[in-house]
Chain A
Amino acid sequence: MIRVVLPVHLRTLARSGKEVRVEVTGPVTQRAVLDAVERDSPMLAGTIRDRRTGQRRPLVRFFACEEDLSNDPPDTPLPDRVAKGEEPFMVVGAMAGG
């Protein structure tokens, strides 16, 4: 299972805890993980990625294993420790505004 940490507003929306766990078949990539998150929590569709383009929303960031993966291509494999469930894939609301 892949561990995904959601920002507080999306936890409220998804009625989840800080961390959700999703099943991914095949390569563990940003796209596969976020597809699985939206499959399990359809109300999150459009909140992390733009519905039309599928791209990361401008004020959302992706971190894992102390690295900023926000600008990685969506089909790049995520770090092994994320794929093994040892570290979470973190969806973060960017620091901007108040």
Chain B
Amino acid sequence: MPPSGARQSNTVRVLVGTRKGAFILTSDGTRKDWTIDGPHFAGWEIYHLNGSPVEPDRLWASQTSGWFGQIMQRSDDGGKNWQAVGNDFTYTAPVGDHLWYDGTPRPWEFKRIWHIEPSRTDPDTVWAGAEDAALYKSTDGGQKWEELNALRQHPTGPGWQPGAGGMCLHTILLHPTDPERMYVAISAAGAFRTDDGGATWLPINAGLRSEGLPDEDAEVGHCVHRLAMHPSRPDTLFMQKHWDVLRTDDAGGRWREVSGNLPTDFGFPIAVHAHEPETIYVVPITSDSLHYVMDGKLRVYRSRTGGEEWEPLTVGLPQSHCYVNVLRDAMAVDTLDECGIYFGTSGGQVYGSADGGDTWTAIVRDLPAVLSVEVQVLP
């Protein structure tokens, strides 16, 4: 999408999913004053909200509950009104088994939708990433969902195991021009690529090393937390793994670590600047057993060199007594000339920066724990 100027006439809409409902934060292009709307679906877990790039007022929400299961919601007016659409996420037979935590086979069982990825070209087409890991596609506006089962039935599938958060398909990256190519990532199986619209899948984990695996550079089994891609360079991907930040420049053929001078390379989200494909952002947390930022300081780290060299961004962020986390789907960038960055925390704050991360302000402070953040720029 070409950059648009930061005009007051722009509307910036931040879509926030939380543990207890959805919120929509709206501002003009200056991104100074915000309107907070919500909660929508009060009391339900909203794992992800996302909007269609071609019809921005078409929004999708994954609404889940431990009591009542999975609901998918769609709005056609920017979130003013919602309708429940199809929620029949059936695994294509044969369902088969994957490995459970104790190493025994366990049948795949649908739990929830973690991520929604609308088509770049068709407002009625949308993909959804599930726990237990599976990829679904709808071409009728969400009424019916079909599993792209070649992914789950990859020969390595019976050996996939859940990460601590569940075996979730959490990242779906659509190639900007080639409708046949797509990347997905699964905790804790790894990253996969299709070059034929989902008919076949290739594990793309060469170069990853995970100390938690008996074979540290196994073909699958890596706990990939998030992938990010700039649309101008679709062969370059950035990865926040359980530990390690990595990049590939050949569409996943080989990854190399770019953690560089990060104080810790454990984290969940990773994002790419809207106009600078070598500028990336992560939010390191202390460790795999301490899921909060280091030293009580909330610091976003930015690299302008595609990794290796990182700088902490702290202005406007709490630098004492802060022990929040930022989850994998809870960071997003807008496309205004001066790229805006947004992220939400486990403490219910949503922070925004209208200057590429140099300075931050809290848009809202006391929401329920934030699960996801997306942003739209409307004309």
**Contact stretch, chosen from B62-70, B113-121, B188-196, B288-296:** B62-70
Stretch of A24-32, A41-49, A64-72, A77-85 lying at the B interface: A41-49
Interface size class of A (residues with CB under 8 A): 20 to 34
Contact among B41, B42, B69 with A46 in the assembled complex (CB-CB below 8 Å)? B69
Q: Using an 8 Å CB-CB cutoff, how does the interface string of B270-303 with A read, 1 for contact, 0 for none?
A: 0000000000000000000000000000000000
Q: Is A57 an interface residue (CB 8 A)?
A: yes
A10 touches B84 (CB 8 A): no
User: Given known contacts A51-B90, A52-B90, is B67 in contact with A13 (CB within 8 Å)?
Assistant: no
* Chain B residues in 8 Å Cβ range of A13: 68, 71, 84
Question: Residues of B contacting A60 with CB < 8 Å?
Answer: 67-68
Cβ-closest chain B residue relative to A52: B90
Chain A 1-19 against B: per-residue CB contact (8 Å), 1 yes, 0 no?
0000001111011000000
Q: How distant is the Cα of A52 from the Cα of B69 in the complex, in angstroms? A: 12
**Cβ-defined contact, B87 with A59, below 8 A:** no
Question: A93 an interface residue at 8 Å Cβ cutoff?
Answer: yes
CB-contact partner of A97 in B66, B71, B87, under 8 A:
B66
Are B68 and A10 neighbours in the complex by a CB distance under 8 Å? yes
Is B216 among interface residues, defined by CB-CB distance under 8 A? no
| Number of residues from B at the complex interface, CB < 8 A | 16
Bound complex: CA of A9 vs CA of B69, how far in Å?
A: 11
User: Are B69 and A57 closer than 8 Å at their CB atoms?
Assistant: yes
Q: Does B44 contact A (CB under 8 A)?
A: yes
Quick one: which of A7, A43, A59 contacts B84, CB cutoff 8 A? A43
Report the bound CA distance from A52 to B92 in whole Å.
Answer: 12
Q: Give the docked Cα–Cα distance between A85 and B373 (Å).
A: 47
- CB B81 to nearest CB in A, in angstroms, measures 11
List of B residues within 8 angstroms of A12 by Cβ: 41-42
* Residues of chain B contacted by A43 (CB below 8 angstroms): 71, 84, 87
The one of B44, B87, B88, B90 in contact with A9, judged by C-beta atoms closer than 8 angstroms, is B44
B43 within 8 A of A: yes
Q: How far is the CB of A48 from the nearest CB of chain B, in Å? A: 7
- On whether the beta carbons of B84 and A9 are closer than 8 Å, the reply is no
Contacts of A8 in B (CB 8 A): 43
A47: which of B43, B69, B88, B90 is its contact (CB, 8 Å)? B69
What is the CA–CA distance of A7 and B67 in the complex, to the nearest angstrom? 10
- Name the residue on B nearest A42 (C-beta): B84
Q: Is the CB of B66 within 8 A of A46?
A: no
Interface string of A86-98 (1 = CB under 8 A from B): 0000000110110
Chain A residues positioned under 8 Å from B42 (CB to CB)? 12
**Residue of A whose beta carbon sits closest to that of B70:** A46
**Cα-based distance from A8 to B67 in the complex (angstroms):** 12
Q: Is the CB of B67 within 8 A of A93?
A: yes
By beta carbon, the residue of chain A nearest B110 is: A52
**Which residue from chain B places its CB closest to the CB of A51 in the assembled complex?**
B88
Q: Which of B41, B42, B66 has the most CB of A within 10 A?
A: B66
In the assembled complex, the CB of B83 is this many whole angstroms from the nearest CB of chain A, namely 8
Give per-residue flags for B73-96: 1 if the beta carbon is below 8 A from chain A beta carbons, else 0: 000000000001001101000000
Min C-beta distance of B82 to chain A, whole Å = 10
Closest to B71 in A: A13
* Least Cβ–Cβ distance between A85 and chain B, in angstroms: 25
Closest residue of chain A to B43, judged by CB?
Answer: A9
Name the contact of B68 in the complex, choosing from A57, A96, A97 (C-beta under 8 A).
Answer: A57
Contact partner of A93 among B68, B70, B71, CB < 8 A? B68
Task: Give the chain B neighbours of A51 by CB distance below 8 A.
Answer: 87-88, 90
Q: What residues of B have a CB within 8 angstroms of the CB of A50 in the complex?
A: 69
**Contact A46–B88 (Cβ < 8 Å):** yes
Contacts of A93 in B (CB 8 A): 67-68
Residue of A nearest to B83 (CB): A43
Distance of B148 from chain A, by nearest CB (Å): 19
Task: Name A residues whose Cβ lies closer than 8 Å to a Cβ of B.
Answer: 7-10, 12-13, 43, 45-48, 50-52, 57, 59-60, 93-94, 96-97
Knowing that A13-B71, A46-B70, A52-B110 touch, tell me 11 more A-B residue pairs with CB under 8 angstroms.
A7-B67, A9-B44, A9-B65, A13-B68, A45-B88, A46-B87, A47-B71, A48-B68, A57-B68, A60-B67, A94-B67
Q: List 9 A-B contacts (CB under 8 A).
A: A7-B67, A9-B68, A10-B68, A12-B42, A43-B71, A47-B65, A59-B67, A93-B68, A97-B66
